[in-house]
Amino acid sequence: MDLVAIPDFEAGAMENWGLITFRETALLYNKKQASSINKQYVATVVAHELAHQWFGNLVTMKWWDDLWLNEGFAEFMEYLGTNAAEPEWGMENHWYYMDLLKAFKTDSSHYTHPIYAEVKDPEEISALFDDISYSKGSSVIRMIESWLNNINSNHFRRGANTYSSNYFFNRIHEYLDLYKYSNAETKQLWDALESYDKDGNPLMNVSETMGTFINQGGYPIVMMKRNKEENKVSLSQERYFYNHIELMNSDQPADNSTWIIPYSYLVYCNITGKPEIKENKSITLKEETSIPLPIILRKRDGEGEDIADVKLFVKGNPDQTGFYKVQYDDESIQIACEWLKSDLYFMSAIDRAGFLYDIASQLFNGRTENPEVILDCFNFLKNEKSNVVWQSAIDILKQLIKNYDVDASYDNVKKYIISLIKNISNDIGWEEKENNESKENNYENIFREQYRKRKRDGDATKEDNTIHNRSQLRASILGLASVVGEETIKSEALSYFEQIKDGNFTKNFDEDVLKVIYSAGVRYGNENDFNFIFEEYKKETSVQRKNMLMDSLASVSTPSLQEKLFELSISDEIREQDTNFLLMRLIRNVGSSAARQCWIFVKEHWDSYFIDRFPTGTAGFSRLLGTIAEYLNSDELFDDIVEWIDGVDNGKRVVPSTSKALVKRGVEFGRANNCWTKHEKYGEVVSKWLNEHF
């Protein structure tokens, strides 16, 4: 197997049988310079392409309708392959915030599509290479694996040495063997995974159950509501839409989609004085139903009186293996948050991340009567150190920034975020608190010892506060702290930047930490600072370092320098393959002001550059237009971009239909964010709470 890096290569990689081709940044790794994020990226891309040798090359989908059989499985296997090579990284936790959350967002739009999508025209093919085929596909496969193994092995947990007893992988092996050097389709996968009784009847109904997740767009939110009088929890489902608040006030017909959900849950009780698991159960949820709760005999004090603080909490979707969200009632949220503040580790890291993201979805989706309860709950983050929890939290906090970036409450949003991240930013610092000349070898030994200890304790993925993960978390936390203007981090970053410019910088920081410093230099600096970084970019020969410097330029906040960056993005100084990524990073880093400027630039240069560079069906341009649309933050501009792509003022303008769908998805998200921010029960309540507390 040959692996080849190509300088100008638009895709990340291509799984040619026997000769895999890559972008330079997806294959080349400099051990002395590159960061843990670079190392992990290279590992996952290589694992993804190697997985394609089986899923795609050995067994190929029969037609493009079943693209997910290639890409969903390769995405699923990239985490397992990387985890086999580097078990200390805890890749199942990385999967949660790198794949699942991405799929949740894309699939919450009206402009999504089923995983199995009928293809009748060649122009429709490129549109399928998206978050649905990759991230949702892999997430549904993960749900199938967990569901089938639980049925066949009584709450089976995957381990490095247990694949021989893994029902799911045994059946996948048979599927690959049966269809090797041939083609397959989804029905044949379902047949391979199913078990039958002596009369030939299916025992698990894999096709019927999983068909509800791949043959229709969207996904369910399972709404749990506690009934204390009957000691039950009622369960119901509906399709989760990003613009739920708008839909509640519209005349649009209700979406009646339903799913057959492999639903699992944990029941916690604090009768012993601390929250502990009392039940771990799974059901198949088709329609509204109730689940009984265990009868808890209350403790009594010395006088025979009930101790009143005995409570129950039901956590839906343990290990976050199900492709659905969970909605909790306010009392359940309060109980869980009270426990998290006093006993953080009663839930595993992945479950804390899942619970946090579920209640944040309730906050931004108009599914709570008391937004203040959720905002207060986020305070448990002040004691949090887990990478997966914080990466999920950062996504949520960036949503607050996006919603309020042109609002009077923006400064209070930043103060709120600073209050949450102050402890972790102080704890994690600019470099690992380890002073050893053989740092790399020492770190590796610490990694492995931490992993062995967690494995002895029975759960190798429970916590992820290893040095590898702290390295990634460091860059994310320091980057957010710099963006919101946390004084200590901002001051230190700018001081380091001056040292770099003066040539007396002596720290040996990871590249991702250096990006925080360079980004602060351009965000809070002037044209000279911008030019300094750009000159460094032009001189740099390391692909990772060059990419880091380009990313840093995308934090420029001064409008005139943004204009300069726009011009550079379509010049010979920037590779054409990087234009989209540079512009999208700028918008995501800076917000609505950059989106407005970028939209003007794209329109002005449509005929002279973009239409030739991005032919019909090019996914990269679709993503750029979608990102612009999501951040425009103005009803007038939303209307403008929709009319423009529809050719209202120029019938000869040709915008690919796939691009139109992505733009309209971005507009849908942007309008929903605006609606939430201005809503008297949600955005205005949050704004008032922030004003009162900060």
- Find out if CATH 3.40.50.620 is the number for domain 2-214: no
pLDDT digits (tens, 9 = 90+) for 416-441: 999 999 999 999 999 988 643 344 44
Burial-class residue 112 by CB neighbours within 10 Å (0-12, 13-18, 19+). buried
pLDDT score recorded for residue 300: 54
Amino acid at 659: S
pLDDT digits (tens, 9 = 90+) for 67-103: 999 999 999 999 999 999 999 999 989 999 999 999 9
- Give 618's pLDDT tier (boundaries 50, 70, 90): low
DSSP letter string, 480-522? HHHHTT-HHHHHHHHHHHHHHHHT-------HHHHHHHHHHHH
Q: Is the pTM of this model over 0.85?
A: yes
Neighbours of 180 (CB within 10 A): 12
Q: Which CATH number fits domain 220-258+260-348: 2.102.10.10, 2.60.40.1910, 3.30.70.2740, 3.40.50.150?
A: 2.60.40.1910
pLDDT digits (tens, 9 = 90+) for 508-517: 998 899 999 9
pLDDT score recorded for residue 407: 87
pLDDT digits (tens, 9 = 90+) for 210-263: 999 999 999 999 999 999 889 999 999 999 999 999 999 887 778 999 999 999
- Give 163's pLDDT tier (boundaries 50, 70, 90): low
Supply angle C-alpha 435, 436, 441, rounded to 5.
Answer: 130
Contact 32, 58 (CB under 8 A): no
Query: Which residue is catalytic, options 10, 15, 24, 49?
Result: 49
Strand 276-285 to strand 325-327: parallel, antiparallel, or no bridges (unpaired)?
unpaired
Residue 49 a catalytic site member: yes
676-694 core/surface letters (b: 16 or more CB in 10 A; e: else)? bbebeebbebbbebbeeee
Matching fold, domains 2-214 and 220-258+260-348: no
Helices 511-523 and 487-502: angle between axes, nearest 10 degrees: 100
Q: What is the mean pLDDT of residues 668-694?
A: 96
Percent of the chain with pLDDT over 70: 91
* Lowest mean pLDDT, pick from 44-58, 448-462, 629-643, 670-684: 448-462
- Residue 440's H or E segment, with its range, is helix 439-456
pLDDT score recorded for residue 85: 94
Nearest to 61 by CA among 190, 182, 163: 182
248-267 core/surface letters (b: 16 or more CB in 10 A; e: else)? eeeeeeeeeeebbbbbbbbb
Burial-class residue 90 by CB neighbours within 10 Å (0-12, 13-18, 19+). buried
Contact 269, 296 (CB under 8 A): yes
CA distance 557 to 553: 10
Helices 487-502 and 467-483: angle between axes, nearest 10 degrees: 100
Domain extents in the chain: 2-214, 220-258+260-348, 384-431+446-484, 486-553, 581-694
pLDDT score recorded for residue 625: 87
pLDDT digits (tens, 9 = 90+) for 295-354: 876 555 555 555 567 899 999 999 999 999 999 999 999 999 999 999 999 999 999 999
The pair of three-digit structure tokens given for residue 240, joined into one six-digit string: 């989760």
Query: What value does the mean pLDDT of the chain take?
Result: 90
How many angstroms separate the first and last alpha carbons of the chain? 58
- Give 355's pLDDT tier (boundaries 50, 70, 90): very high
CA distance 622 to 602: 12
The pair of three-digit structure tokens given for residue 220, joined into one six-digit string: 């369910």
* Partners of 313 in the β-ladder: 268
Neighbours of 159 (CB within 10 A): 11
Q: Where are the beta strands (DSSP E) in 487-625?
A: none
pLDDT digits (tens, 9 = 90+) for 388-404: 999 999 999 999 999 99
Nearest to 336 by CA among 358, 321, 319: 358
pLDDT digits (tens, 9 = 90+) for 549-593: 999 999 999 999 999 999 999 999 998 889 999 999 999 999 999
pLDDT score recorded for residue 645: 84
Q: What is the mean pLDDT of residues 281-285?
A: 96
State the alpha helices, DSSP H only, in 162-221.
167-178, 186-193, 206-214
Q: Which residue has the higher pLDDT, 49 or 656?
A: 49
Supply angle C-alpha 615, 552, 99, rounded to 5.
Answer: 65
Whether the per-residue pLDDT at 612 is higher than 70: the answer is yes
Contact 340, 347 (CB under 8 A): yes
